[in-house]
Amino acid sequence: MPPIPTYKNDGIGRLHGRVAVVTGSSSGMGRAIALSLAREGAYVVCSDLWPDASPDGFEEDKHIPTHEVIANNRGISVFHKCDMGRTNEIWALIDFAVEKFSKLDILVNNAGLWLPLRDFVEETDEMWDSMMGINGKGCATSMRQAIKQFLKQPIDVNSGSRGRIVNISSSAGIVAVRREATYAASKAAVSMLTRNVALDHAKDSININAVCPGVVRTAMASTNFRDPKIISEMQKGTPWPRLGQSQDIANLVVFLCSDEAQWITGQNIAVDGGFTIGIPL
């Protein structure tokens, strides 16, 4: 892994002074994304069901909440609880960010629900409702509220944008994956939602893209990463010599939020070690 850059508190970070909301920020990809945005100078509103990292995570400093890690490194961050399955809490999250920092520049929809692998026939209506409610509707609701705020703001002279949204979808939303039917359907919804909403609001100078991770070592997938047989199967399906790390996802999110990505919108970009291009022999 390349070295993680230090926090930029000198005013020259790529995202200096921009306000970002990151959902599902306490562990895994969300934590890596929040820390990476802060390293580039963003003011980060961390959001999750609780501030503490999952005990099943792989972070060395998981005993310290994400927003505290940022503050300890002279960054600016606060935590606000939000259940992405509750519309009123999503509204309150966006309102909180704007009230705290007077604007909103970036929304990263990372929070999501994943359940252990099982055949479709073993899934239930309750699982479907939960997955689609959090991964699908929750994402749509937060996007809508963020866009309402973006439309109140002028186009930033440096970024050329009123605001940026990055949705964390999944490679499972691009190609079929055994025993993940409902999860895959919910992430396919996120990927198509990204394209449609980007099309609606390109005229408003609002960038909306999605990142589609492959097999990434996080707390949510910890049951897989502690099973040697599953690890072996995941490695067989990934052409690159290693499986994914949360920082791999965070690196692309930072780029999509940067000025360099001004003319990129409506894209679903796989960060998957080649998982979606084919199964290696």
pLDDT of residue 8: 62
In a domain, 9, yes or no: no
- Judge whether 110 lies within some domain: yes
Residues of the chain above pLDDT 70, percent = 93
Residue 103 within a domain: yes
Considering the domain boundaries, does residue 12 fall inside one?
A: no
Instruction: Pull the structure tokens for residue 120.
Output: 């479709």
pLDDT tier for residue 198 given thresholds of 50, 70 and 90: very high
Residue 107 reports pLDDT greater than 70: yes
**Residue 235's pLDDT is what?**
83
**pLDDT mean over 233-246:** 88
Is 43 catalytic? The answer is no
Asked whether residue 3 is assigned to any structural domain, the reply reads no
Would you state the pLDDT for residue 2? 39
Q: Which amino acid is at 177?
A: V
11 within some domain:
no
Average pLDDT on 171-176 reads 92
* pLDDT value of position 217: 82
**In a domain? residue 56:** yes
Question: Which whole number is the average pLDDT over 110-116?
Answer: 91
Instruction: Identify the weakest region by mean pLDDT among 45-59, 82-96, 137-151.
Output: 45-59
The predicted structure's pLDDT at residue 60:
83
Task: Single out the catalytic residue among 79, 183, 225, 275.
Answer: 183
Q: What is the structure's pLDDT at 9?
A: 59
When divided into structural domains, the chain yields a total of: 1
Give the pLDDT score at 281.
65
Domain range for 155: 19-274
pTM of the shown model: 0.93
Q: In which band, very low, low, confident or very high, does the pLDDT at 221 lie, cut at 50, 70 and 90?
A: low
User: Can you give the CATH number for the domain in which 70 is found?
Assistant: 3.40.50.720
Residue 10 domain-assigned (yes or no):
no
pLDDT of residue 54: 79
**What pLDDT was estimated at residue 115?**
84
- The answer to whether the beta carbons of residues 255 and 211 sit under 8 Å apart is no
pLDDT above 80: residue 223: no
Strand-pair category, 206-213 with 268-271: parallel
